Amino acid sequence: MFRLLSISFKCQTGNGLLEDSVKGVEAFLGEGGFGVVAKCRNTITNKFVAIKVNKNAPEIYHQARQEIEILKQLRCLDPETCNIVQWNGYFFLKMNICLNFELLDLSLYHYMEGTPEKTLPITEVKDVLYQLSIALSHLSSIGIVHADLKPDNVMVVDRHQKPLRVKLIDFGLASRVSDCQPGMCVQTTWYRAPEVCLYSEFNEAIDMWSLGLTAAELAVGYPLYPGNMDYDVLSFIIATQGQLPDHTGCRPEDTRDFWLSSLDDLEELMEVNRGHNSDHGLLVDLIKKMMHLDQDQRIKPQEVLQHPFLTGSLPQNSSTCVWMAISFRQYIPKKPGRYGLKVTLPRHMLGNCRSTQVGLQMPPPRDQPGETGGLRDD
């Protein structure tokens, strides 16, 4: 039996049995389009868990069932060594599917926002990339693509624990690689791979693209490609990385006036306030390999683990942070609400737009806490 909002229900578990314990809701951790996430206490074990209560709507129900099927496949992996959230099963609360997860501390995004510089120290960037690469390596080994990797879907196990421990959460958009089809709705726009934007065939390499963007955000404090729509994201990509592979059918004519002219500029931006550090160049090199425009040429998780950025010696100043909060603002034009990007794109990428000159608006605020169902303990 579970108690939710002081109302008791008998709940059927995923194996067809009735739940024997009572879990009182201690707090609501967040809500989103899927439903709510609640911090609950198991009164038998006296341990806290995170319960994701999905809405009783046909599309939400279908997505929850898909997530359960993926989570069942993940049971062959050790959550601790594979750095993925531990799933404790599911049950029904009336007609609502509820997923039971271990309770974690807070999202990587909120952890980063809680630092004075709004970025992570280089040592913690290494810790995060190492652990997430291990997670992606294990997912790839069983043919699973996460399809929504971003700082909001990476949880810090314990913010006070050193070295930093993280786990990958939210498998609501995950699927088997063999089931991936062009045009599927996957990935949050800011972290969307070019092949997804172009409705091309894709595979688990889209997770590596998202990890590259996450690495850049951890290092500089801002999302690299904050577009509201696919062609916004493609404009950012073209402006910083040039022409997409010929097989994508995208041939830009102009990529001028962007605050970041190439991914190589990231190193200079990292050093504006901190001076030279050889790790900066290594990190940029790794990000470029993670964000190769051709998914077939993108670095693999096991190769990331062997990259000099992760295998090299730690910098002498272990507290060195890579951040560009000041320098980023210097690159933004005075006209409020716009980035300095004007790029000419092919007509077929612009839909019904009259002009091929695209000016990108600043995106709306990031999803509110809990929007993605983060299993956090605030």
Alpha-carbon distance of 260 to 269, in angstroms, equals: 9
**Where are the chain's structural domains?**
2-102, 106-361
Place of tokens 């790794």: 286
Can you give the pLDDT at residue 225? 93
- Which band of pLDDT confidence, cut at 50, 70 and 90, is reported for residue 26? confident
Q: What is the pLDDT of residues 231-257, one digit of tens each?
A: 889 989 988 888 776 555 444 443 333
For the segment 328-355, the average pLDDT, to the nearest whole number, is: 37
Does the pLDDT of residue 7 top 90, yes or no? no
Contacts (Cβ under 8 Å, ≥6 apart) of 78: none
User: Chain-centre distance of CA 258, in angstroms?
Assistant: 24
Q: Where does residue 281 rank: exposed (0-12), middle (13-18), buried (19+ CB within 10 A)?
A: middle
Instruction: With beta carbons less than 8 A apart as the criterion, state whether 224 and 232 touch.
Output: no
Does the pLDDT of residue 121 top 70, yes or no? yes
User: What is the b/e burial string over 230-253, where b = at least 16 CB atoms within 10 angstroms of the residue's CB?
Assistant: bbbbbbbbbbbbeebbeebebebe
What's the distance, Cα to Cα, between the start and end of the chain in Å? 26
Q: Is 168 helix (H, G, I), strand (E, B) or coil?
A: strand
Higher per-residue pLDDT: 103 or 351? 103
Place of tokens 């909001």: 152
Instruction: With beta carbons less than 8 A apart as the criterion, state whether 240 and 262 touch.
Output: yes
Can you give the pLDDT at residue 301? 98
Instruction: With beta carbons less than 8 A apart as the criterion, state whether 343 and 244 touch.
Output: no
Can you give the pLDDT at residue 231? 85
Beta bridge partners of 366: none
Would strands 106-107 and 166-168 be described as parallel, antiparallel, or unpaired?
Answer: unpaired
For the segment 217-223, the average pLDDT, to the nearest whole number, is: 91
Does the pLDDT of residue 227 top 50, yes or no? yes
When mean pLDDT is compared over 157-166, 257-266, 311-320, 323-332, the highest value belongs to: 157-166
Can you give the pLDDT at residue 93? 87
Query: Out of 3.30.200.20, 3.50.50.60, 3.40.50.720, 3.40.50.980, which CATH number does the structure's domain 2-102 have?
Result: 3.30.200.20
Can you give the pLDDT at residue 3? 43
What integer best gives the mean pLDDT of the chain?
77
Q: What is the pLDDT of residues 189-218, one digit of tens each?
A: 999 999 999 999 999 999 999 999 999 999
Does the pLDDT of residue 369 top 70, yes or no? no
Higher per-residue pLDDT: 326 or 319? 319
For the segment 105-114, the average pLDDT, to the nearest whole number, is: 96
Can you give the pLDDT at residue 222? 87
Share of the chain above pLDDT 70, in %: 68
Query: Out of 1.10.230.10, 1.10.510.10, 1.10.645.10, 1.20.1050.40, which CATH number does the structure's domain 106-361 have?
Result: 1.10.510.10
Does the pLDDT of residue 42 top 90, yes or no? no
Instruction: With beta carbons less than 8 A apart as the criterion, state whether 69 and 121 touch.
Output: no
Q: What is the pLDDT of residues 265-309, one digit of tens each?
A: 676 666 554 556 678 899 999 999 999 999 999 999 999 999 999
Instruction: With beta carbons less than 8 A apart as the criterion, state whether 23 and 40 touch.
Output: yes
Can you give the pLDDT at residue 376? 52
For the segment 90-101, the average pLDDT, to the nearest whole number, is: 92
Whether residue 52 is annotated as binding a ligand: the answer is yes
Amino acid at 22: V
Higher per-residue pLDDT: 73 or 6? 73
User: Encoding tokens for residue 310?
Assistant: 């992760």
What's the CA dihedral at 71, 72, 74, 80 to 10 degrees?
Answer: 80
Does the pLDDT of residue 348 top 70, yes or no? no
Higher per-residue pLDDT: 214 or 322? 214
Return contacts of 79-84, CB within 8 angstroms, 24+ apart.
79/167, 81/134, 82/134, 82/135, 82/138, 83/131, 83/132, 83/134, 83/135, 83/165, 83/166, 83/167, 83/168, 84/135, 84/138, 84/139, 84/167, 84/168, 84/169
Does the pLDDT of residue 96 top 50, yes or no? yes
Q: Which pTM was predicted?
A: 0.76
What is the torsional sign of CA 296, 299, 300, 303?
Answer: positive
Can you give the pLDDT at residue 157? 98
Higher per-residue pLDDT: 371 or 203? 203
Share of the chain above pLDDT 90, in %: 55
Positions marked catalytic: 148
- Which band of pLDDT confidence, cut at 50, 70 and 90, is reported for residue 375? low
- Which band of pLDDT confidence, cut at 50, 70 and 90, is reported for residue 261? low
Alpha-carbon distance of 358 to 369, in angstroms, equals: 31
For the segment 19-45, the average pLDDT, to the nearest whole number, is: 78
Q: Do 106-361 and 2-102 fall under one CATH topology? A: no
Alpha-carbon distance of 215 to 128, in angstroms, equals: 9
- Which band of pLDDT confidence, cut at 50, 70 and 90, is reported for residue 45? confident
